[in-house]
Structure formats: C-alpha cells, structure tokens
Structure 1
Amino acid sequence: MTALHLLRRHRQRGAATLVIVMMLFLVMALLAAYANRSLMFEQRLSGSYYRASVSQEAAEAGIDWTLAQLNGTAIDGACKPVDDGGERFADRYLKFSLPDRVIGSLGASPSGIALDCARNTAIDGWTCRCPAAAALAARVPPAPIAGAGLVPSFGIVIAGGQRPGTLKITSRGCNDSVVDKCSAVATEAGNSQNLLAGSFYYATVGLVGAVRTPPAAPLTVKGNISMTGTGLGLHNTDAKSAGLLVVAGGTWTTPFNESLLESVPGTPSVQARIDHEPTLAAVDADAFKMFMGAAAARYKQHPALRVVQCNGDCAGALEAAYKAGKRILWVDGTLTISSNKVLGNPDDPMLVIANGAVQLSGPFQLNGMLVSIGDLDWANNSGLSSLVNGIVLVTGDLRTNGLMHIAYQQKIADHLRNRMGSYVRAPGGWIDGQY
C-alpha cells in the first residue's frame, strides 16, 4: 500500500470523529436547552405557588383581624384603638334589627370592600383603613422598599348571615399592596402576566349575646330586699314583659312605697311583684348563670369583656371605659359608685358586672344593666335622682336607704341580647379558595 493511500485513510478517520463530536455537542445543547426550559418552568411555577400562598395567608389573617376588631373597642379611621372620640367597629359597619336579632351590613365601596389593610414592613405590621361605611376610596400604592419583597393586602366584605344573629365575613387576599388589583373578575392570564395572585376566605360569624336571657323585671334579687327611708321606685310599663316590677327568691322585709311603683296601666302593682320565686329560691340556684348564660368564671372569658381596675369610687373608671368603646365591663372586688355621673346611653347601653359586693351612694344614672355577684347596698339621701335606667340583677341581698329608682326598658334588654356581645366563628362555617 502506498503512502498516499495511508494518508487518505487517516483523513477519513478524522472526519468521522469530527462528525460524531459535532453530533454529541448538538445533542448536549438540545439537552441543556430542554433542562433550562424545564428549570424556567419550575421557577415560574414555584413563584406562582409562592404568590398564591402569600395571598391565602393574607386572606386568613383578614378573618382573624376582623374578629379581633368586632370584639374590640373604639377605633379611628386607621383602625387603631382610641380612648375617646372613636367608634366601635361593629357600630361602624353593622346594622342591627333589635327585635329579631338580624344583622346586616351598612354598606361598602363599589368593589364590595368595606375596609382594607396592607402589609407595612417598616412597622412589621399592617396599615389599615377603616372609614365610614361605603366611604372606602381607592388605595394609592406605597413606594416600593428595596428588598422588602411582596407587600400583601386584604380587603373585608361584610354581609348578613343566613340566620338571625350571624353574618358572613369575606376576606380577599392579594400579594399586591392594592387588593383591588387581585379582582375576582380578572382573567387568569392577566393575573399571571402581572404576577398577581388572589385568594378568598369566607367565615360565618355568630353573635354571643352579652345577656342570654335578660330579666323581664327592672329588679331581680336572689335573696331578700330591705328598704329604709323614702323607698325604692320600680317602673315598668312595657306590655311585653307584663309590667313585672320585681322578682325575688326571698322576700321584702319592709313594704314597698306604693306611690313609687309603676306598672302597665290597669295592673295593680301587687300583681307585678313576685317573692319566694322557687327557681331563684333554690339553694343551689346560680342566678348569674340563669340569666347571663354561663357561670361567672366562664363568662369572664367573653372576648368582648374588659376588666376595669378602680380603687374607691369607680364612676370615673367606668365613664372612661365607656368612652373608649368598652360595653361589657367587669370589676373584681367591691364596686363603689358615689359620683354624680351619667354612665352609658339608652340607645347604646353598658353592662357592668361586679364580682363582689356593690355599694351605691348619692345621685347618679346608669343606662344599661348592673349585676352584683354578692350583696348590693344603695343609699341616696341627697334629694337628687339616683337611677338605673334598665335592669338590676343581685345574686345576694339588696338593701336600700333613701330614694332611688329602677326603670325597665325593653329596648335596653334587646340591646343586651341582640346587639351587645362577642363574635365567634361558627363551627364548619368557612370556605377558602383562589381566583
């Protein structure tokens, strides 16, 4: 074989190797491109999952936040608690039908959202807006903060429930600071292109009334009643309660001043007084639980209840608590009221519970219900009015000295049962999802 033939054979072997190497490079390039495409797809998918999770967490946070507000005190337009001049969240956004316990919404913005909150990384919390009902304006997006990541938000929609005493809270979550951008009517393609994710969370919320069964008389006493001085005035002209004036488990050791008793016209006052009522007279009867719906220790766990601390005269502390939007007030120990103050309002009453004896003296006016888990001593020889406009419940004995009045109002009883109280989730009454 000549040298020329050998040279050609060597050239042919090199060409084949080159072709094979090029084909391998091509296959490797195709595999790399496919792997990169899969990686990009996985990255986009994980980003979508992350945004969806953020929006869902925001929606769930909105439900818990709303429950806290419903059981909270007075707030301002930024949803922050205030000591005076604010308005309770429930009063700002809910409307109540007192006779039948139906709860509805006072209105919302055109998008249906009544209020909203956006994450604020500067304060490690939420910046919220709680305007008057149906007055929520469009939110202006905040300036982005470098490295802050997503700025989620939620908007709250409030609607009446299917049953009296319930309402439906809808929280719309969004991974953007403007919740309206994650609209339920937006297309999936549009949300994907704009890197948006929206979630919703429905929860049925029920009202646990402050007083489960308000007494039908202005005065209910488990023990005995003793009166000295001018006497105790009892007034009830409400036909629904049959004009009942007093119910006692014991009896009254001194007769009532008939001129101070006022029942339904045409009803003798003697027929409106009940003593030795067997249910109250029972030794093991829990008068507090009978009307309030729970034993005292358990009742104190009401989410809307607030403990008031006071030494001596508690009138000032009760007045300050009422101005701050607190309506169910609990005083540990002896409750003393000796100041000439007006506490509460007939259209927005207060419930005062004393976990001990109660000592009332001088002129004052309480609009609502007073509960004494113990004896009640009430003295007034000032010549001025000393009045409880509503209901008094005493689980011990009642002793009065001087002139005082208790005037029953059905409207106040309806407030105590059908408007005032705590809001809790209905078991099984929730649904979540995404759009």
Structure 2
Amino acid sequence: MTFPNLSLKNRQQGAATLIVVLVLAIVMAVISLTTAQTGLMEQRITGNDLRAREAQEAAEAGLEYGVGWANKNEIPNTVTCSSGSLPAGCPTALTTVTGSSTGESYSYTLTFTKGTDSIRVASAAQGVADSSIAATSEAFIKQIPVELFDFGITMPPPWVIAGCITNAPTGTPDTFVLNATNLAVISGTSSNPACLPQGHLDVTIWTDANGNGVKDSDEEGGGTTFNRGIFPGCPSTHCAWNYVFKMDFQEAIDRATDAGHVYSGSIPCGPATSSPSIYIIENGGPINSADISGNCTGTGVDSTTIGAPNQPILLIIPSDNGCPRFNGGVTIYGIIYFESETECASNGWGGATVYGSVIWEGDVDKPNANSEFIEVDHEDDFDLNTVFNSGMDDATRIPGTWKDF
C-alpha cells in the first residue's frame, strides 16, 4: 500500500525548517550588526568624552598658569597670548598639554581682559591633531599691588649705613646733593662725625636743569656741608633694608629669582627688560666694566651702565657673596644693597658712579678717589614702586566667577 502525499509533506516540513533557519540567521546577523554598531558608537562616545575631558583639563591647566602668571606680573591691558604670538604682558612660554589617556596634545591660548576693577583670565584649549576638540575655562581675578616701597616715600640719601664709616675718605671722592640742607649720609648707629667722618669727601650741590636725569658739568653748583642723619631700628637684622623698603627682604629675593634676575657672571646693561627691576648679584667681585654685557645706548647710558635715568634698578648683593667692589668705569642708576654686616668694614666702594643710593648693613670702609655718589629725585606721583618697575601684584580669584564651556 502506498501513501502518495507523505514525501510531499516531508518536503514541505524541510522547506519550513530552512526558512526558519534563514530567518533566524538574518535576525542574528542584524543583532550582531546592531551590536557592533552600538559598540562602535559607544567607543566613539567614550573616546570623544575622554578627549573632551582632556581638553577641559588642558584648559584648566592653562587657567591655573594664567592666574599664576598674574600673581607675579602686572597685566597692563587686554592681551591675548598664544604659542605663536607673545606680545608685551604675556608669559614667555606657553606649552602644550598631553592627555594621559589618549596621547592627544592640546595647545592653549590665554586671554587677559582688563576691566575697571578686575581681570578676566580665559584659557582656550584645542587639540593639536584634531582642532574640533576644544574647551574653555575662565575666572575673574583682582590684582592687589605689592609694594617694594611705602607709598609716598622719597629716595634715600646717597649713603645709607647701618653702622659707621671705618676710615675717613681720602683722595677726594665726590657726593652730589640736590639741596644744601639734604642729607648726604644717614646711619642706623650715630650721626656723630666720629662715626661718619667726612675726610677728603667733597659734597657739591647739583641741579638737573634739563631734566634728563644725568649730571652734566654745567649743572654742578657750589660746595656744601656733609650733612649727617640717623635712622631708628638698628642694631637688628636687615635694619637698613627695613628703613628703606616696605617689602620683606626674602620676598624681594624670591620675586627677583622667579623673574630670572639672578646674575653670577655678567650683568646686562641698561634698564631691566622685565619686571620687577630687582637684580640679585652673585658675583664676588670686583665688578668691572667687563662684567657688564650687552650693547646699550641712550641718554646717560652705554654698555658699561646698569639701569638708566628714570629706569633705576635695585641691586641686591646677598651676604654669601661678601662685599664686591663696583670699580671705576661703571655707572649704576638705582639702589645697591649689601646684606653683609661685616664684609664691607674693610672693603669699601670701588670707584663707580651711582645715581641713587648705596645701602650697607654694617660698617663700611672709605670709597676710592674717583667715586661719585649722586642724589636723584625720582617723582611719579610719589610712588617709587612705579619708578622701579615693581610690576608685582598678588592675584586673588573673585569667588563665583569660574566657569567652563
């Protein structure tokens, strides 16, 4: 007996199975493709998130750098600083930041926008390989002036000595004062002639008739008395420094060091090219014209000149460097400060010309014959901080002004 429909039924069941398998295969393929696309999308999202976060972190790093820069330097006006453009008022080096996860590098641009009573510091970071990844952070700060001098103080006398002059000057060195009643020397110990002997020291009046800050031969007047004075506070550490300056001695050292103004070899000629106008001299001397580098010209300035008229410099000689002589042929505009309380007692001035003042923290020996100590009158609304290009401000963030975008 035969069943003619059986093979047909089996064939139909086999076809149905094949169709089901095909459908399942297609579904699996779609699922696999969807899963792969989803995974790829998630990878891209994760990668973009990492890079966006790195860009934001780079912007934050730039912002911290910018605020730190403003903490040590005056921001004169609105200025934009990028690696390819560093106008006046910008940091000298803007580096790139490399992400720790992706290895991407990010450059940043700093913008200082000076307002009436605050400064907006903005840092814009951008991927070096992919500029589409970018971020910006900003904050507002206030710059609070840090004073080297008390406001309203005038220049000290040509000689400021914590102690006495150990030997009377010989060979007719010269001190020039602007008025017959002005002090030529002031001591933290005594104003007695026995402590501050004049010896052969000539004291002459001069008048800056043409206002160029340089003593010309026709501006010298008649002789006058060697007027002496005394200031309080000695004996104590840095008493002569504290008499003249408001800023703590170590802070002045730190700020000059941070600015790169430490010179153990040659000293650059002319005025300081960056603030503050404070130099640390680590040269045991004697300091001669050959120890001054550069090619400088101008009124009262040549290649053997430190500072310039109306652009004076404070030179600090730490006690570790003794009491180096500044020999003849050298001209200094500014103030020279010797920290040592003992070394200068047997090692006096070497013969250089000083427009300003020399400060000693102890006794000092007599100056050489060709020395010139010239009193100057720096006036800028009675603010020597401006004259000496202090350019030093503490920056404080204004709370609630930070944002990123």
What TM-score comes out, normalization by structure 1 length? Answer: 0.60
Amino acid at match of 1:223: G
Q: Does 1:260 align with 2:179?
A: no
1:387 to 341, 349, 353: 353
Q: Distance in 2 between matches of 1:223 and 1:26?
A: 101
The correspondence of residues 329-368 of structure 1 with structure 2, limited to 5 A, is 329-332=279-282, 334-339=284-289, 341-355=304-318, 356-368=322-334
SS of residue in 2 equivalent to 1:59: helix
Amino acid at match of 1:157: T
The C-alpha deviation readout for 1:106-157, integer Å capped at 9, x for no partner, is x55xxxxx3322xxxxxxxxxx3335799xxxxxxxxxxxxxx966433232
Deviation of residue 19 (structure 1)? 4.0
Partner of 1:222: 162
Partner of 2:49: 49
Deviation of residue 57 (structure 1)? 5.0
Q: Distance in 1 between matches of 2:71 and 2:329?
A: 32
Q: Distance in 2 between matches of 1:283 and 1:115?
A: 45
2:107 to 137, 150, 153: 153
Deviation of residue 341 (structure 1)? 2.7
Q: Distance in 1 between matches of 2:335 and 2:404?
A: 46
Deviation of residue 372 (structure 1)? 0.8
The correspondence of residues 182-221 of structure 1 with structure 2, limited to 5 A, is 195-202=132-139, 204=141, 211=148, 213=150, 216=154, 217-218=156-157, 219-221=159-161
2:373 to 405, 419, 423: 405
Partner of 1:140: none
Partner of 1:38: 38
Amino acid at match of 1:129: S
CA contact (8 A) 2:56 2:136 kept: yes
Cα gap change, 1:10/1:67 in structure 2, threshold over 3 Å: closer, same or farther? same
Identity %: 21
Partner of 2:261: 306
Deviation of residue 249 (structure 1)? 0.9
Q: Distance in 2 between matches of 1:393 and 1:199?
A: 49
Deviation of residue 172 (structure 1)? 1.6
- Which structure carries more helix by proportion? 1
SS of residue in 1 equivalent to 2:349: strand
Q: Distance in 2 between matches of 1:6 and 1:46?
A: 59
Q: Distance in 1 between matches of 2:269 and 2:71?
A: 18
Deviation of residue 305 (structure 1)? 4.1
Amino acid at match of 1:173: A
Partner of 2:215: none
* Unaligned segments of structure 2, at least 5 residues: 91-102, 208-223, 290-302
The C-alpha deviation readout for 1:380-418, integer Å capped at 9, x for no partner, is 4xxxxx53223432212234434522323245822366x
The C-alpha deviation readout for 1:64-110, integer Å capped at 9, x for no partner, is 776898899xxxxxxxxxxxxxxxxx7xxx7xxxxxxxx431x55xx
Cα gap change, 1:407/1:370 in structure 2, threshold over 3 Å: closer, same or farther? same
Deviation of residue 304 (structure 1)? 1.0
The correspondence of residues 274-289 of structure 1 with structure 2, limited to 5 A, is 274-275=229-230, 277-279=231-233, 281-284=234-237, 286-288=239-241
Cα gap change, 1:422/1:378 in structure 2, threshold over 3 Å: closer, same or farther? same
Deviation of residue 161 (structure 1)? 6.5
1:420 to 390, 398, 402: 390
Q: Distance in 2 between matches of 1:205 and 1:422?
A: 13
Structure ID, larger Rg: 2
Cα gap change, 1:284/1:69 in structure 2, threshold over 3 Å: closer, same or farther? closer
Amino acid at match of 1:221: I
Cα gap change, 1:152/1:296 in structure 2, threshold over 3 Å: closer, same or farther? closer
CA contact (8 A) 2:70 2:143 kept: no
CA contact (8 A) 2:253 2:280 kept: no
SS of residue in 1 equivalent to 2:268: helix
Q: Distance in 2 between matches of 1:57 and 1:295?
A: 37
CA contact (8 A) 2:269 2:304 kept: no
SS of residue in 2 equivalent to 1:22: helix
Q: Does 1:27 align with 2:13?
A: no
SS of residue in 2 equivalent to 1:7: helix
Deviation of residue 353 (structure 1)? 1.1
CA contact (8 A) 1:71 1:303 kept: no
- Which structure carries more strand by proportion? 1
Amino acid at match of 2:35: A
Q: Distance in 2 between matches of 1:344 and 1:37?
A: 69
Cα gap change, 1:352/1:298 in structure 2, threshold over 3 Å: closer, same or farther? closer
CA contact (8 A) 1:70 1:423 kept: yes
Cα gap change, 1:388/1:67 in structure 2, threshold over 3 Å: closer, same or farther? farther
Amino acid at match of 1:344: G
CA contact (8 A) 1:379 1:400 kept: no
Q: Distance in 1 between matches of 2:88 and 2:44?
A: 41
CA contact (8 A) 2:313 2:333 kept: yes
Q: Distance in 2 between matches of 1:177 and 1:431?
A: 31
Partner of 1:248: 187
Q: Distance in 2 between matches of 1:54 and 1:17?
A: 54
